Structure 1
Amino acid sequence: MKDLKVFRRLAAGVFILGLSLAPLPRSAMAQAAGDYLAGRHADLQNDIVQAAHYYERALTRDPENVELLRRTFSLLASAGQLVKAVPLAQQLYSQDPANATALTVLVVDDLKRGKVSLAQSFLDSLPNSGVAQLVGPPLKAWVAMAASNREGALLALQPLDKLQGASALRDLHIGMINDLAGEVVAADTAYQALLSDRERISYRSALVIGNFFERSGKAAQARALYQDQASQQSDGNLFEPAFARLDIGQVPKPLIASPLDGLSESLFHLATIFRQQRANDVALIFTELALHLRPDLDVANMLAGEIHQNEGRSQSAIKAFRRIDEKTPLGWTALLQIAGELAEVGKVDEAEWVLKTLAADRKDRFEPLVRLGNLLRSEERFTQAVDAYSKALERIGVSERRHWSIYYFRGIAYEQSDQWSMAEADFLKALELEPGQPNVLNYLAYSWVELRINLERAEEMLKQAVAARPSDGYIVDSLGWIYYRLGRFEEAADRLERAVELRPQDPTINDHLGDAYWQVGRKREARFQWIRALGLQDDEEQRLLIEQKLETGLTDSPKDI
């Protein structure tokens, strides 16, 4: 039995290419090389739009370069420039009829233009291996539905029976196909099979199934499904429109009203699978294909934005999130994401305005206030951050386990604004809600070490934190530093050496290791660490302290440092 995990490796192989330029006349070679190098630079900077632009120009001067063709195609498709990607897909198909991604683009384009027979002809050459094992059955099913062939569509899905991890995709498609064909009983059977394991249900599949229940006179089942999903979602309000419909007995329109709708849905769900396998390049292409068929598919716009976020493409993420109607359930969440990306690109004032507006518009929601607090804290506006976190906690009322981080963040803001008693209370509250949380243990214990209080308890906390996160350099450093404070220099040096291995570019950890080396008589190594720390340190006050140590060595007791 095949496993979906193979597709991450197979999909990644489609895009990780070493590009080279084919032999060209000298002038054309120079122009192509310039465009290629500009594209390569943009590619390395993860700017897919600019990379696609320059690679496309290079390709016009070097059209026989297959590797360049593949990369240009994938970037254009990832950027949603499918009008330009389709001709390149045709070229790729002519050279490699088994290229599943190029075939998918051609099938989607043909089906959108109503060319069902042509789409079918492309699918006939799709191999039964690699990515095509997952992609092929849904594509063939919706092409069959476009030809009004329900039996053929269901038959096309059968290979998914043998693919481990594809049962949810199979059952969802059987349900959607039968629903579209008016086969209510068969659709219900498939959806009930999918619902037998709640872990297989996503937000979108819950909407699809619930929509079917609402239209089939099963309002109670729809409500139960929405309630169950709302309890699992970080934003339970995503189901508000559905509950509002149920409350007044309004029957919704079908979410899947045509084969194109079904294909778009299929492409989105395939994209989520690729995303789970961390094949973001492929996931983005399938997301853009879904949007090519249904530009208003909010879950696809959200997925595109999240992929761009993960890849550090803030401007592209903002563009994707802004395609979501603010009045839709995902619109509010999209605005939260936009605020975060605005801050990432340095538009702090605009991000702050968005968050304050969201907080004012929805006084029942605390999330924008938490994000506002995080933004203000990152800008070192700690007093204002405390105020934002406090307002968020007021809206929450009774704090639950999931709210521990708000107390932790507010504790940091209190500590940074010299309100230690308030900070300590918040850290302890965070640990009450989430016992053993490593970050909280580390921050509180390190603060106690710096204040020379509760050292024994701090040591136990840090041992617990290191046991939970042995590869966290900051936490390992904290444990080493408490050993230093306690005069246990050999233990300190051992731990701090490990911390530097984990965080070699951190100036404070290198400085700490230098101090420990000095105390155990390794003075040459101590000076080396201080010099290294000095080169990494930006804070002028800390630089002066390190320079003093380089000049005179350590003259104070560890307890006085």
Structure 2
Amino acid sequence: MPPLLRPIGILLLAGLPSFASVAVAQQISPPAPEAMRALEATRAQQLFIRGLTQAYLGNHEAALALFDEALQFAPHEAALLSAAADAYAALDDVSNALFYAEQALREAPDNPYYAHRIARLYRDAGRTEDALAAYARLVERVPSDLDARLEMARLLVSLGRYTDAIAAYETAIEQLGERPELLRQILHLYRQRGDDRGALRTLQTLIEQDGPNPAYLRMLGELYQRLDDPDAAVAAYEAALAADPDDAEAAQALQTLYRSLGRPTASPDRPHHAALPEAASPDRLYARAASLAASAGSDTAATAEAAGLLERVLEQDPEHTGAMILLGDLHYRAGAYAQAAEWLERALQRNPRDPQLWLQAAAAHLQSGQPRRAADLAEEGLILFPGQVPLVRIAAYGLMESGRSEAALHRFEETLVLMREDGTDDAGERAAAMAAMAAIHARNGDTARADSLFAEALRADPDHPVALNHLAYSLALRGERLAEAERMARRALARQPDEPAFMDTLGWILFRQGRTEEAADWLQRAIDTGRAGPAAYEHLGDVMAARQDLAAARIFWRRALEMNPDNPALRARLDRLDE
């Protein structure tokens, strides 16, 4: 089953409400009122799903026709009204979009999604004051809504009301805490307005949170110079160079300051990264590696140099946990997930008290195509740190990928509950979790429950690539609407073109359409990423078997079984092949 392999960032929007799940009653003549209502709700939901499909395909007029028909059966359904608003907005009909968005908010005034939607429509229509008022009402009702506060402050900036924007950020920081995204925004405003004291205060907090960030330290040195505190400026520039010896701007500023203070200057031709002696201590080697890793970006030479220094650290001190973690992180960034998992798990054995380390190690195993180990590791971490949402989520995907459906469903449901309870509910994460649950139900043959969850997931985030991918895969498993499934899979790939799970889905859909050559190409691409799960290997084995290349099929099926031993159907297939 295609996984979600991107743990993700935490936003504060809740998912949209779903239609009530109804069972189709046996036809009675004449129908009882309850049965009629159930039939109408079912018909409205079917039209809604068809309308969403048309919207995904860009056929917004066709989508509107379906939504209008659905509204005849469910005129007070906020999700339907909001979908109609989105379709009108896509057609640049702002007046009707606002009309339906206002109705959706009237029907569900406590759902922040609809409040956000109408505020964005006001903003996009140029009605900035109305947008500001909408965000102000939302913040008053949901003080913890960070996105609303950020949008409100950005609108104030766009109106040139900088003092009000600063006040909005300061209030947000007071109520939500010193979050980095808030601090970075207010820092920009302080600097723009020439408020050096406010900028200084904010920079010091950011440096305390992030550690010795060279850019922040260099900025701090500039501020101290403007505030006529040269000694503090020297200390800031020296700290910037200690964090990144290649920081030419900090080196130049420091030499200028030295000269103005009558101090000896460093030699201008001194290399910023002098070679470390062979006898350098582990701590000095580690510091240089950390500096290189922090500034390497896409510089593969710097990354390789940092990795080499870390290996020297571990030769001298095999128990250096920091070096193991950083080496695992470097491998992860380079896409070498199996090596990353190995180093991170070694670090975990020495420092099991860090929940983030449990998460990193489990994620590396999941990315490397070892879902069973990922799930087991996450479950171990949850014994020590129960209720940690990211760990619960990783456990859920690992369980799903390794075929343990019931346990996976339990963990996904727990994820949704925990996100609501701790205020970290996010539309994208909610959509991904519900889509995964829907995929499990579809695989287990409960198509009614699967369709209901897919609809709810896509209401929460209509463009979520994982939700699109899971729905496409579910349709492929059922052999239904394969052309539509192909379009969805390609939309998901357009958003995450390097995701092997999405390549696997497209390959499987093409195979179900009888396009074996194209299917083999996409499945091989998934495997070539080095991050494919067992499903991609099994599917490519199926393609090879269909092409009568049983030797190749055996190779891919065996690899799939090695990665996921809990696949009795595949084991039986291999046994028959070996007879």
Q: TM-score range by the shorter chain?
A: 0.3 to 0.5
Return the TM-score normalized by structure 1: 0.40
